Structure 1
Amino acid sequence: MARAEWGSRLGFIVAAAGSAVGLGAIWKFPYVAAQNGGGAFLLIFLMIVCTLGVSLMIAEMSVGAIARKSPVGAYRKLGGKGWSLVGYIGVLCGFLILSFYSVVGGWTIAYLIKTVEGSILTADPGILSKTFDSFIADPVTPLWYHALFMGVTAGVVLAGVQKGIERVSKYLMMMLFLLILVLIARGLTLEGALEGVRTFLSPDFSKVTATMVIEAMGLAFFSMSLGMGCMITYGSYASGETYIPNSAASVIGLTTLICFLAGLMVFPAIFVFGFDPSAGPGLTFITMPAVFSHMSGGQFFGILFFFLLFVAALTSSVSLMEVVVSFFIDEFRFPRMATTVVMSVLMFVLGIGASLSLGVWKGYTLFGKNLFGILDYLSSNLIMPFGGIMVAILVGWKAWAVVSIRLMRPDGTQPLWLPLFKNFCRYMAPVLIFVILIQNL
């Protein structure tokens, strides 16, 4: 059976950017940055993205493009039989992330409906915080939205690569980008907004700790969809004419820009309305309704924002599910429909526990974290960095001969950065990530 391909290079870039520009950039980046000092965290994050992020994005896309297989098959083909274990871990990571990611995706649908009803258009921090807390603590309502979001994700994956994933990403990600710009412009006109911008952009190096660096690396991996096989899977659908370095740079650039803009969108509102920067996962859902309440036509923009936030979440969740589904299709020749349905149900079941851990199961913790936090920490701060180490070693050592050929320019010449990239994958990336991992443990 012929391997599916993206319809165009632009489709590949937008779909890969859609995988990265999801809730990681718009939902997670602002609250993690707020919890870690704003400007200093932003600087550390950018340094990691411009070094590890770019290198690993090129590495993962190259592995997929050369092997033309899902992570397990790709690692086995380029590294040997023993390397397939790394692919299995990547598939597991995608499974774990989507189980709790779908819960948050469900929140976007719920808040879209709440905005249509007009029930959250208030600038009162107390009301907004109470509304969000009571919603996620409800043992039943969030699960319906979790199921709905998982079902929509499954529907897109069932439609395939071009008709499903590429089409959804291509037409809606630009709308999200434009709306963020509109919301930034409105937020900056609020009295006191510049204090939020100053906090976001001014680095306070006294805030830099080992924990912050770990958080920045984990967020970089999460935001860029690295270390779990998404970019290997998406790279496997790239045509032979696709020049991977340019595509990788475009994806990294778009994702970093959206992260930065998301911070500019949320931080002013934090200071204007007196919200708690350490509010955690609910920060975006608490601050943005306050901005809409002060906008002319705020309800319309609120509806549009939460719809497009849902779309951003969807483009990422689709890539996560595609990692799992493509594994079973490639390895066992399972039909796409049956695989997608079964995996969706299993991920939904695990997500039930993640959702309840924010409410009725809140008291059950391990190492001070509930199940939602454990799944997030395990995947973002442990498994994904491990995947980053292994793909760097694979590319730098085991498969360099074929990778270096794939990275040649279209005219057949060697790019000047190729030797640096080789050494970075061989030495710097594995050592740097390993040191941070040990500190993390």
Structure 2
Amino acid sequence: MDNKVKSQEERGSWGSSFGFIMAAAGSAVGLGNLWKFPYLAGKNGGAVFVVVYLLIVVLVGFTMMLGEMIIGRKTQLDPYGAYKKLNKNWGFLGSIGILTAFLILSYYSVVGGWVIKYIISTLSGSIATDKAAYFSGFIGASVEPLIYHGIFMLLTVAIVFKGISAGIEKASKVMMPALFVMLIIVAVRSITLDGASAGLSYYLKPDFSKFNARVLVDALGQVFFSLSLGMGALITYGSYLKGDENLEKNALIIPGLDTAVALLAGFAVLPAVFAFGFEPGQGPGLMFITLPAVFEAMPLGTVFGVIFFVLVFFAALTSAISLLEVAVSYGIDQRKWSRNKAVTIFASLMFIIGIFASLSMGPMADFHIPLFNKGVFDTLDFFTSNILMPIGGFLMAIFIGYIWGVDEAVAEVRKSPGVSFKLEKFWTILIKYVVPVAIFIVLLSSLGLLDRFLGN
């Protein structure tokens, strides 16, 4: 009994429903919302992509998020322990989620370090005229990116060390509202620029002649990755919930908040990019090359540039703490480690892997991992985003729909006092039939197996 109490103390629990929602939204809101959504909207016809994206959030995002929270709260365990408790042969699926989160944070921390660097560089006005050369010169350096990678990882560790209520919840309750406020400020500035109307029109007026299979697949993939599905984060966060929490309501609110950030990011980025004549579908360079040029050309650009990169930093950090917590919960539940020991061991390993990911942008650029024929950073990104996450999400839908059983999942939602689960039939159809097919399409697309049909 003493060990059980001690383990529960190490695990912790959410202090409030608002705290959980902010933390879960923080897990979902990340760099993907702030650069990838505007870039994909820019590449895929603007408003038509937005319409398709919103539809898929309702169908896939809500369904998957509720499924992960159900498994977490039902078992009160890390992803491995959760699946194993529900079916002793399915612990492997939790292991996939833990491995995914572990590997993602290893290179995500490197990018988080880039964001810290850009806050400082924007504030000091030291970004060179040639933005592309400045960016490639920085990420290709041997030492400086590693220092920022270390700073970002230490900040993540400092929050997770303090546990659920005093660490993750407290930090999320500050960072998420601040992120919204800063994003609204930048969005208002962007849409009031001279020449912003072309960007607004592109973003808000759907031209359905631009709809094609690529728009659908890109929107499907973005919803899946944006909501942090298939990596055990929502199972882990769900495991700290008390039994009276309304899971159905939370599964609607959290994707809603994540989508609001993505849509606001579109307002912050696309009108400004159009106003200054840049290319809206530029890819990852949009954040570190195009936007610094936009802010430089904008009145009070330094102020808005700093605000923008601080909000990006908050988005990255709230995602990072959820990724680290996935591994930490496994250490506490399965290895019986103290929280401090689990955080120290996993964060140290992630930092070491991140060193190689960072160096693969410069000194180790010629080293390719044989099976993938990519550098360390790109291999980690491809393996997690294109293989592990879709497989994890697909198998979770199969597990709930056909192995553990929808009836068991529904019973867990109804367990909360006063919850009637109004969307039960809708959710049941989606988790059994729609979501597995949708994620299977994401997986095929991620592996390049649909390129012939998508006109690539």
> Which of the residues 243, 248, 263 maps onto 1:240?
243
Q: For structure 1, which runs of at least 5 residues remain unmatched after alignment?
A: none
Question: 1-side partners of 2:103 and 2:251: how far apart?
Answer: 25
Equivalent residues in 2 for 1:219-298, closer than 5 Å: 219-293=222-296, 297-298=300-301
- In the alignment, which residue of structure 1 is the partner of 2:84? 76
| Alignment partner of 1:115 is 2:118 | no
- In the alignment, which residue of structure 2 is the partner of 1:403? 409
Question: 2-side partners of 1:84 and 1:291: how far apart?
Answer: 48
Question: Tell me, what secondary structure is at the counterpart of 2:142?
Answer: coil
Q: Which moved more, 1:300-309 or 1:48-57?
A: 300-309
May I ask how many residue pairs the two structures share in their alignment? 436
- In the alignment, which residue of structure 2 is the partner of 1:9? 17
How far did residue 175 of structure 1 move? 1.3
- In the alignment, which residue of structure 1 is the partner of 2:189? 186
| Alignment partner of 1:382 is 2:382 | no
- In the alignment, which residue of structure 2 is the partner of 1:65? 73
TM-score relative to the length of structure 1: 0.92
Task: Please tell me the residue identity of whatever aligns with 1:430.
Answer: P
Question: 2-side partners of 1:426 and 1:259: how far apart?
Answer: 28
What's the Cα RMSD here? 2.3
The answer on whether the counterparts of 2:79 and 2:98 sit within 8 Å (CA) in structure 1 is yes
Q: For structure 2, which runs of at least 5 residues remain unmatched after alignment?
A: 1-6, 448-456
Equivalent residues in 2 for 1:111-190, closer than 5 Å: 111-120=118-127, 127-190=130-193
The answer on whether the counterparts of 2:100 and 2:388 sit within 8 Å (CA) in structure 1 is yes
Task: Please tell me the residue identity of whatever aligns with 1:416.
Answer: K
Question: 2-side partners of 1:204 and 1:142: how far apart?
Answer: 42
How far did residue 210 of structure 1 move? 4.5
How far did residue 343 of structure 1 move? 1.4
Deviation readout 1:22-62 (Å, 9 max, x if unpaired):
21211332233334443333233222211111100011011
How far did residue 92 of structure 1 move? 0.6
- In the alignment, which residue of structure 2 is the partner of 1:40? 48
| Alignment partner of 1:329 is 2:332 | yes
> Which of the residues 98, 102, 105 maps onto 2:105?
98
Q: Which moved more, 1:183-192 or 1:229-238?
A: 183-192
Task: Please tell me the residue identity of whatever aligns with 1:178.
Answer: V
The answer on whether the counterparts of 1:218 and 1:380 sit within 8 Å (CA) in structure 2 is no
- In the alignment, which residue of structure 2 is the partner of 1:54? 62
Question: Tell me, what secondary structure is at the counterpart of 2:414?
Answer: coil
Question: Tell me, what secondary structure is at the counterpart of 1:429?
Answer: helix
Question: 1-side partners of 2:325 and 2:33: how far apart?
Answer: 20
Question: 2-side partners of 1:153 and 1:335: how far apart?
Answer: 17
Question: 2-side partners of 1:129 and 1:176: how far apart?
Answer: 27
Q: 1:388 to 1:413 in 2, by over 3 A?
A: same
Q: 1:206 to 1:328 in 2, by over 3 A?
A: farther
Tell me which stretches of 4 or more aligned residues in structure 1 moved more than 6 Å. none
| Alignment partner of 1:88 is 2:82 | no
The answer on whether the counterparts of 1:219 and 1:380 sit within 8 Å (CA) in structure 2 is no
Task: Please tell me the residue identity of whatever aligns with 1:46.
Answer: L
Question: 1-side partners of 2:444 and 2:18: how far apart?
Answer: 39
Q: 1:19 to 1:439 in 2, by over 3 A?
A: closer
Question: 2-side partners of 1:28 and 1:335: how far apart?
Answer: 37
The answer on whether the counterparts of 1:106 and 1:146 sit within 8 Å (CA) in structure 2 is yes
> Which of the residues 398, 401, 405 maps onto 1:393?
398
Q: Which moved more, 1:23-32 or 1:366-375?
A: 366-375
Task: Please tell me the residue identity of whatever aligns with 2:286.
Answer: L
Question: 1-side partners of 2:400 and 2:339: how far apart?
Answer: 30
- In the alignment, which residue of structure 1 is the partner of 2:425? 419
How far did residue 260 of structure 1 move? 0.7
Question: 1-side partners of 2:335 and 2:312: how far apart?
Answer: 35
The answer on whether the counterparts of 1:56 and 1:392 sit within 8 Å (CA) in structure 2 is yes
Deviation readout 1:97-142 (Å, 9 max, x if unpaired):
111111111011101111221223x8xxx63333222222223211
TM-score relative to the length of structure 2: 0.89
Question: 2-side partners of 1:223 and 1:413: how far apart?
Answer: 28
Aligned residues with identical type, % of pairs: 45
How far did residue 308 of structure 1 move? 2.8
